[in-house]
Amino acid sequence: MDTQGTTTGTTPHSPPPHPARPRAARRLLATGAAVFALLATAATPLSPAAAAAPQQPAVQAKAKAAPRTLTIAVAQSVDSLSPFLATKLVSTSIHRLVYEYLTNYDVKDAHTIPALATEWKSSPDKLTWTYKIRDNSKWSDGKQATAEDAAWTFNKMMTDEGAASANGSFTANFKKVTAPDPTTLVVELKKPQATMTALDVPIVPKHVWEKVGDFSKFNNDKDFPIVGNGPYVITDYKPDQYVKLKANKNFWRGAPKFDELTMKYYKDGDAAVAALRRGEVGFVQGLTPAQAASLKSEKNIKVNDAPGRRFFALATNPGAKDKTGKKFGDGNPALLDPAVRKALFQSVDRKAIVDKVFQGHAVEGQGYIPPRFAEYHWKPSAQQQIAYDPAAAAKTLDDAGYKKNADGKRLGKDGKPLDFRILCHATDPNDKAVGKYLTEWWGELGIGLKVECLDSVSDRWLAGEYDLAFDGYSVNPDPDYVLSIHTCAALPATPDASGQTDNFICDKQFDGLYDRQIVEYDKARRTDLVKQMQSRLYDTGYMNVMVYPNALEAYRTDQIKSIKTMPEAGGNIWGQDGYWSWWSAEPAASGDTPDQDSGTSPAVWIIIGIAVLMILVIAFVVTRRRSSTAEDRE
C-alpha cells in the first residue's frame, strides 16, 4: 500500500543493484520518474493552510463560461435578410427566429396561439379586427415593441410595392390599420378575410425601418446586430457562407438555451454530412436517403425521418407576363397546349421517383397540399387522375397532331422538333436524379430535354427564361399563402419586378375560387373551396406535384441533448411553422470551461502519470532490443 512521506532505499537485506543499463535508457527512466513525481505532486491535494492562502488574481479569477454555440448546415443560400423580400425557406426560417408575428402555431398540432398579440377579436361583420399587443416584448436595442410597430409594418406593405414583394397577399385586402395606443392594433378590411389569425408577416421595428429608402433593393445586410424581438438576433452575415445569430436574453417567452447559432451554407451535401461526422456542425438538413442510411449507425448521431411540409413538383412556364398583360421571357409556346402538358405528365412515373430517387422516403404526389395537412389535402378521382401511361401519352400527342419524323423526333406545330429545357438546382441531387429519368421517359415520346442545373435559378426563373422547372414550397398550416402565389394578383407589376408569383399562372377560374375561400369563415365550406382550387391546378397541368418528400435530417446527440419537432409527435426540425426547434434546443453539455483554480481530479493525474511511466518503460525495452539487434547485425 502506498503511503505518503515514505522513502525507499538500499538496505543490508535488499537485493543487489541492477546491472548497468544503456545511457539512453537511464535517461528515459530518469525522465519518466521526474514526470511521474511532477504529476503526483500536481495530484496531491493542498493542505488546509495552502488552500486558505490568498492566490494571485490571475489564478483566483474564474474563467468566463464559453458560449454554447451550435452550427447548423443549410442547403440553401440566403436570398435576403429583409423580411419584405425573402422567400427562400432558409431566409424565412431565420426571420421566424428574429421577428415576432402577431400569432404563432402551437408546436403540438399547429393551432393558432398568441405571439406578439396576446388576444384578438373581430366585429360581428368580420370587417374589423382588434389585437391586444403584449407589453413585455422588447426590441433587442432595448426599446419597447408596440402596436405602432405592427401598424407601421402593415401600412408600409399596403403603400409600397417593394415592401409587399414577399408577403403582400396578406395585406392586399386591408383598408386601414391603426394603433390607438401602444397595446392596441386595429385592422379594418375591405371584405372579410379568413386568415386574420394566420398572418405570417414578420413585424419590424418602426424606429429602424422607417429610415429605409427603396424597399425593393434594401437587403438589411450591412448593419449588425440587426434589431429584432424574437428568440435570436442576427450578428453577422457573409453571402453564400453563413448567418450568425446570438440569443436574445430578453425574449419574452424565455431565452434560448444555445447562446449562439451559425447557419452555415454547404453547396455540397456530402461535405455537410462529413462536417457532421467530424462534429464541425451539429445539425444537417436535406439529407439524401443514402446519406441518412449511412448516418443511422454513427455514434452520437440521430437521424430524423418525418413527413414533410413540402411538395416537389414540375412547374411549366404558362407564358410569363406582368399584371398589365405584357409578355416576356422565352418559354416554349408548345407548352401552352394542354395536350402537350398532359402527355408530359402521363410520362412521369411517380412511384419510380418515390422508390428509386427518394428510396421510399416520400409519398406519391397528388394535390397541391401535402398529406401532413390532412384537412386540406386533396386527391384526384380515378376518372380525373393523370396516371403513368407512356402509350396513352403517345396517343395524346398523336391525336393532337404532334407526329414523329423519320428519326423518331416528335414535331411541333411549326414543324420543328419538340425540345424543352428544365431549370435544375445544382445543389439538389433530387433535381438531377429526376432529370435523368425525365430525359429517358420523354425521350421515348420523341421529346428532347435539356437539364440546366444552376447554382441559382432565380434570375432565369423571374425573367421567364425557362420551359419547365423543378419547384417546391413549404406549406403553412393555413394554405392561403401557397395558393395565393398562383393568382393573377401575384404577377409582377412590371417585367423587372419580382412579384409574388411562383410561375406566372393566371387563371380566372382559380382566382374566382381563391376570392371565395379567403372570405369564407365556415371551416367545412372553406376546406371544400381549397380542394376545388387544387383540382383546378391539377387539371390545367401547369403544376405537376410529383412527390411529397420526407424531412430527412440529422443532429449530433453530443451537441444537442433535446430538441422539439413539429408536430411534437414525429415531426420535422428544420423549416418549422415557428421557432420551436432552435428556441427549445438544449445543449448536451454546459460548455463551461473549468475554473482556473480548481485543478484536474487527482485520480486523473495519477492515471496519466502511470500511463506516461508505462510508455517510458516500453521505450526502454524497445531501446534495448534495437541496440541488441544492431550489435548482432554488425
pLDDT digits (tens, 9 = 90+) for 166-215: 999 999 999 999 999 999 999 999 999 999 999 999 999 999 999 999 99
The backbone torsions φ and ψ at residue 31, rounded to the nearest 5 degrees and listed phi first, read -65, -45
User: Whole-model pTM above 0.85?
Assistant: no
Look at residue 498 in the predicted model and tell me its pLDDT: 80
Q: Contact at 8 Å (CB) between 466 and 423? A: yes
Does residue 443 surpass a pLDDT of 90?
Answer: yes
Q: Counting beta carbons within 10 angstroms of the beta carbon of residue 225, is it exposed (0 to 12), middle (13 to 18) or buried (19 or more)? A: middle
Average pLDDT over residues 458-478: 96
Tell me the CA distances in angstroms from 620 to 573, 606, 609, 625, one per residue in order.
Answer: 55, 21, 17, 9
Confidence (pLDDT) at 589? 79
Contact (CB, 8 A) for 437 and 443: no
State the pLDDT confidence band at 66, using cuts at 50, 70 and 90.
confident
CA–CA separation, 351 and 363 (whole Å): 9
The pLDDT value recorded for residue 515 is 97
Dump pLDDT digits (tens) for 397-411.
999 999 999 999 999
Position 499 confidence tier, pLDDT thresholds 50, 70, 90 = confident
Banded model confidence at residue 415, pLDDT cuts 50, 70, 90: very high
Q: What is the pLDDT of residues 519-569, one digit of tens each?
A: 999 999 999 999 999 999 999 999 999 999 999 999 999 999 999 999 999
Residue 435, φ and ψ in degrees, nearest 5? -55, -40
HEC string of 549-600 equals: ECEEEEEECCCEEECCCECCCCCECCCCCCCHHHHHCEECCCCCCCCCCCCC
b/e code 143-178 from CB counts within 10 Å (16+ = b): ebbbbbbbbbbbbbbbebbbbbbbbbbbbbbbeebe
Residues 6+ apart with CB under 8 A from 322: 328, 491, 492, 493, 494, 495, 497, 499
pLDDT in tens, 332-345: 999 999 999 999 99
Distance separating alpha carbons of residues 564 and 609, to the nearest angstrom: 44
Query: What is the predicted pLDDT for the residue at 63?
Result: 53
Q: Which of 98, 102, 398, 129 is nearest to 233 (CA)?
A: 98
**For residue 133, what are the β-bridge partners?**
117
Confidence of residue 459 (pLDDT cuts 50, 70, 90): very high
Instruction: Please tell me the least confidently modeled range out of 1-15, 389-403, 600-614.
Output: 1-15
Q: What mean pLDDT, rounded, does the chain reach?
A: 87
Half-sphere exposure of 356 (CA within 13 A, CB side): 12
pLDDT given at position 188: 98
% of the chain residues with pLDDT over 70:
83
Q: Which residues contact 303 (CB under 8 A, 6 or more apart)?
A: 287, 292, 295, 296, 552, 553, 554
Lowest mean pLDDT among 132-136, 185-189, 270-274, 593-597: 593-597
pLDDT band at residue 634 using 50, 70 and 90 as cut-offs? very low
pLDDT at 592 over 60: no
Residue with cell 414533410: 308
pLDDT band at 590 (very low <50, low <70, confident <90, very high): low
| Backbone φ, ψ for residue 504 (5° rounding) | 65, 20
Q: Judge whether residue 316 has pLDDT over 60.
A: yes
Number of C-beta neighbours around residue 289 at 10 A: 18
Q: Quick check: 629 pLDDT over 80?
A: no
Is 16 a residue whose pLDDT tops 70?
A: no
Distances (CA, A) of 23 to 20, 28, 30, 409: 9, 9, 11, 87
Q: Which residue is it, cell 443511422?
A: 296
Query: Cell 488546509 maps to which residue?
Result: 48
Q: Would you say residue 15 has pLDDT above 70?
A: no
- Helix or strand run (H / E) with residue 289: helix 289-295
Instruction: Please state, in angstroms and rounded to a whole number, the distance separating the CA atoms of residues 88 and 575.
Output: 10
The model's pLDDT over 245-267, given as tens digits with 9 standing for 90+, comes to 999 999 999 999 999 999 999 99
Q: What average pLDDT score do residues 483-490 get?
A: 97
